[in-house]
Structure 1
Amino acid sequence: MLGRFPERGPLGAAGGRDRRRRPRRRHPPHSASHRRRLLTIALRRGSSPDFFIRARLILPIVDSENDFESVVSLSKANFARATELWTSPERVQEPPYFGWLSSEVPTYEPTTLNLKTKLHSQPVGVRPIAELEPTDHPLAVEQRIGITLARVQAIAEQLLHPQE
């Protein structure tokens, strides 16, 4: 995962619950509890009044495609609508939701936090795609025209070996 998640609740986990040392329960793949767990993983509401959804930020690379997992903040109404349609095949017919990129991607100046986005719904089981507003921000430019493999390597190195 390339993007960093926003600050979490006071006890470390989203929503303020501490899940350390709690054994994971296995749910049958088609059970209601399994579907709720998948929804909870993809749609996160932290302890703050913000509403977050995980999305794919696609940056074209020469001879390949790389997905960056990012987090987008939605309004309460858009979050409610996305939640309502999360398991519905009709969700792909929804117009894009407006949101704010809530992931900080290192090496970008100015910060990538709070870039305007359009969140495009995908078929059930596929993460939404975050499209950045076409601005002159370096990340938005690279989403439109592409990114070099050397730049991807520089970002990966920064993530793996951050300067202290």
Structure 2
Amino acid sequence: MSFSLKNIFKKAKKFKEPENTVVYTTTYVMHEKSTITLVSHELNGDWQFMGNESLENFQEIALLVSLNQVVKIDNSILFLADLPFGHQATRIKKSDEWKIEKIHYSESEIQEMGYYCSECGEFHSEIPMSYGAESPTSYFNLDKKTKEQSELTQDICIINQKRFFIKGQIKIKVDTQNEPFTWNVWVEIGKEDFDTGQENWTEENRFLRNPYNGILDTPLNCYPNTLGLNVKVQTQKVGIIPKITISETNHPLFFEQENGIDMDRVTGFAKRILYSHE
């Protein structure tokens, strides 16, 4: 991805942050007119505007200034006003195009980082212990007309009154954590089980019912193909999402649910899902 300086006045953007937002830069940029050659938008929202100077003595040359001060020095950075979290832009000289790429964080950096939650929109200062899908894959792949004839809520999905899905949770023990890691997934179930679940939606003792069979309809890209895995669905108390248990198989997801994982594995999920690191 690149931005050309030819059309700066046509394509320049505006930062969504207030002009007085505090950003990181250096004395060289602010006082010696060093060209800004590196702009980074960190995962916690911080902006950094650096020049070609060595950063080995960063503590000595670092400056905290307002965003507006940096824009006044070099308005070509307006091209980068919508630079996504976790990305950086580089160039060699001011007349060059900006080259944008993901920031490749180390595992130790990732473990210390947070993320912006897609549900609440807030920044959390730790890596996620849960990921999920907004809809079953079967629904996601439908054409527009069929989607209009289907139903999707945060808990259930019905396709053409013929296929029935519910959302559930696959919980996996993490060796050093009190809380488990969770995959929020969609499972296809039979019409009879679906109807029974709806009839007992507010039934106080519904969690006492026997588990029923389902088919996983969410791809979990940190594993070999998970679509079509057989699962057991256990209804929980009112207000609690169903528990999903992978039926015995030689799939890695089954073994991880059986035996648990460590935080390095959770970090690996973050690398793959949040930062697109293989």
Q: TM-score range by the shorter chain?
A: 0.7 to 0.9
1:58 to 142, 146, 171: 171
Shift of 1:160: 1.8
Read off the aligned partner of 1:59 and give its amino acid letter. I
User: In 2, are the aligned partners of 1:92 and 1:123 still within 8 Å (CA)?
Assistant: yes
1:94 corresponds, among 173, 197, 209, to 209
SS in 1 for 2:245: strand
Flag the structure with larger Rg. 2
Written as runs of structure 1 = structure 2, the 5 A alignment for 1:1-164 is 2-4=131-133, 5-6=136-137, 7-8=139-140, 9-11=142-144, 16-17=147-148, 40-47=153-160, 49-64=162-177, 65-109=180-224, 111-162=225-276
Give identity over the alignment, percent: 27
Deviations 1:99-124 (A, max 9, x none): 01111111212x11111111001000
User: Given the two structures, how large is their TM-score scaled by the length of structure 2?
Assistant: 0.46
Note if contact 1:3-1:104 (Cα within 8 Å) is conserved in structure 2: no
Alpha-carbon distance in structure 2 between the residues aligned to 1:117 and 1:147: 20
> Residue 187 of structure 2: SS of its match in structure 1?
strand
Q: Is the contact made by 2:176 and 2:263 (CA closer than 8 Å) also made in structure 1?
A: no
Determine the C-alpha separation between the residues in 1 that align with 2:194 and 2:276: 33
Assess if the C-alpha contact under 8 Å between 1:43 and 1:83 holds in 2. no
**Amino acid of the structure 1 residue aligned with 2:165:** F
d(CA) in 1 for partners of 2:213, 2:261: 24
Render the CA deviation track for 1:11-67: whole Å, top value 9, x for unaligned: 39xx7239xxxxxxxxxxxxxxxxxxxx94212213473211000100111122112
Deviations 1:128-156 (A, max 9, x none): 10011122210000000001211222122
CA distance in 1 between partners of 2:272 and 2:153 (Å): 30
Q: Number of paired residues? A: 141
- CA distance in structure 1 between the aligned counterparts of 2:217 and 2:256, rounded to whole angstroms: 18
